[in-house]
Amino acid sequence: MYSDSIKNGANNAPHRALFHALGLTNEEISRPMVGIVSSYNEIVPGHMNIDKIVDAVKLGVAMAGGTPVVFPAIAVCDGIAMGHRGMKYSLVTRDLIADSTEAMALAHGFDALVMVPNCDKNVPGLLMAAARLNIPTIFVSGGPMLAGRVDGKKTSFSSISEAVGQFAAGTINAEKLEEFEKKGCPTCGSCSGMYTANSMNCLTEVLGMALRGNGTIPAVYSQRIELAKHAGMKIMELLEKDIKPLDIMTEKAFMNALTVDMALGCSTNSMLHLPAIAHECGININLDIANDISSKTPNLCHLAPAGHTYIEELDEAGGVYAVMNELSKKNLLNLDCMTATGKTVGENISGCVNKDTDVIRPIENPYSQTGGIAVLRGNLAPDSCVVKRSAVCEEMLVHSGPARVFDCEEDAMAAITGGKIKEGDVVVIRYEGPKGGPGMREMLNPTSAIMGMGLGSKVALITDGRFSGATRGAAIGHVSPEAAVGGVIGVVEEGDTISINIPENTITLDVPQEEIDRRLAAFTPKTKELHGYLKRYAKMVTSGSTGAILKD
């Protein structure tokens, strides 16, 4: 065990003295040291219950003969950060989390780790750290929120965001808006739809780094505490068998993750996070791979915001393993991959039946024959852009209209809520990319306003920023290259025609190439005065098309 190098022998008496200062007994010091990375805080609803999850993990580790030691990881609530400068600090925390976890784990000589994340950047950041450290590691999340209820119908965070647009359009009054506000998020946990946090927690199961139910057992269920105890016990087995993250997160495992991503209809943010996690594993995932997988993977789930079912219903239907079992019927998964259960994918999903074919469509009767995410290319986005096609209405899969151009989210939001966006328009929001933002802000407020004002089947939105998993509609993000590095999106002019064809995976600025070249030759991207971490981040971050990883 690595911790022996800081615990055993006369020379390590000073180390042992500090362990005794923590109140550890000789018996505890002699056992394997298991670090429990807790992202508990009192500002993120998805993290307020993690103290209880951590206590259960500690008990599981101790029952199995290890010594649990807790240290923290930060987490930003994307919902609270939304719509102001705080959103610049969301994506950038992914690397802070990975870096700080690496530092804590190696500085203190842990033998194994249990990661306890929940919301958006916390999960991929800790997966990146797990790959980097490559010591036995398992994940157990805080779990999803239960859906709310308004007028007898289930609701979620996206319902509240769209209610703001409905209020602006005059279709609901202030009392109804307040009802959404009070009832839409009824419990702790990650927001109840297939948004980014739940997407990544489900995909952590698929990658093999978590036990069954990690992505779907609701935060308030006692079963979540049982899961945490089992994760604590299981890490001791992984340590004994020396099963490490790089044994689990192989290229085949990432192909599985992309496949299930398409079947579930996950957040477009997965197209940032999976490449970044793979990069830490020494694996290259380009977005052409995503389209290849999408072309042969049926979309089996329409969870909110794409439909009217929620994570709690996915759990009741059999969870992620039931989706994987459906996919295995057409040989779409690599079943021989090792997982944190100590068994292969095939062994894990054997017998995991689909208990509700309204929530998980049978593979013979999917929502569509192609996956939930599409990667588009064209002269407007030569390096790619991304759309959650499963959340786009039929009328907007192919669209052409005049560009309405804005250089920041706030200006676009004012135009949308001010009634200045008309049917057929293509809203373009630029200088919100990884460098230009910096931090690649999510655009949930503008997309929700468009939906709430009844324009979801008539207006598209394109940005070099990104979207919340709660976004639905013809919302196309991650346009690369971004405006700040001289991308074509930076020279789009008001009234230019933009054509979108999601089935054909194309996006086109309908301007002669000679004119585009002329504009680019005269183009100087706008710059912003930056300070602190954002200044360093903007210098180091790469394109959205490469997962917004930092330069080596």
236-251: pLDDT as tens digits: 999 999 999 999 999 9
468 catalytically annotated: yes
Whether residue 217 contacts residue 171, with contact meaning beta carbons closer than 8 Å, is answered with no
Sheet containing strand 67-72, edge to edge, reads 67-72, 33-38, 112-116, 137-139
223-238: pLDDT as tens digits: 999 999 999 999 999 9
Count of other CB atoms within 10 angstroms of residue 16: 16
Q: What pLDDT is attached to residue 230?
A: 98
From the list 159, 468, 480, 545, the catalytic residue is 468
Q: How many helices (DSSP H) and strands (DSSP E) are in the chain?
A: 22, 14
Q: What pLDDT is attached to residue 52?
A: 98
443-469: pLDDT as tens digits: 999 999 999 889 999 999 999 999 988
Looking at the predicted structure, is the pLDDT value of residue 530 above 90? yes
Q: What pLDDT is attached to residue 166?
A: 92
What does the mean pLDDT of the chain come to? Answer: 96
353-399: pLDDT as tens digits: 999 999 999 999 999 999 999 999 999 999 999 999 999 999 999 99
Q: What pLDDT is attached to residue 169?
A: 86
pLDDT category at 258 given cuts 50, 70, 90 is: very high
Output 408-413 pairs: Cβ under 8 A, ≥24 positions apart. 408/432, 409/83, 409/441, 409/443, 409/445, 409/446, 409/465, 412/446, 412/461, 413/83, 413/445, 413/446, 413/449
Residue 66 and residue 52: Cα distance in Å, rounded? 19
Mean pLDDT over residues 195-211, rounded? 98
Residue 335 and residue 215: Cα distance in Å, rounded? 20
pLDDT category at 13 given cuts 50, 70, 90 is: very high
pLDDT category at 327 given cuts 50, 70, 90 is: very high
DSSP letter, residue 38: E
Residue 109 and residue 373: Cα distance in Å, rounded? 41
Q: What is the pTM of this model?
A: 0.96
Looking at the predicted structure, is the pLDDT value of residue 494 above 90? yes
Q: What pLDDT is attached to residue 160?
A: 92
Q: What pLDDT is attached to residue 469?
A: 85
Whether residue 334 contacts residue 255, with contact meaning beta carbons closer than 8 Å, is answered with yes
Mean pLDDT over residues 432-451, rounded? 94
54-91: pLDDT as tens digits: 999 999 999 999 999 999 999 999 999 998 999 999 99
**Six-digit token string for 501:** 């064809």
Residue 383 and residue 521: Cα distance in Å, rounded? 19
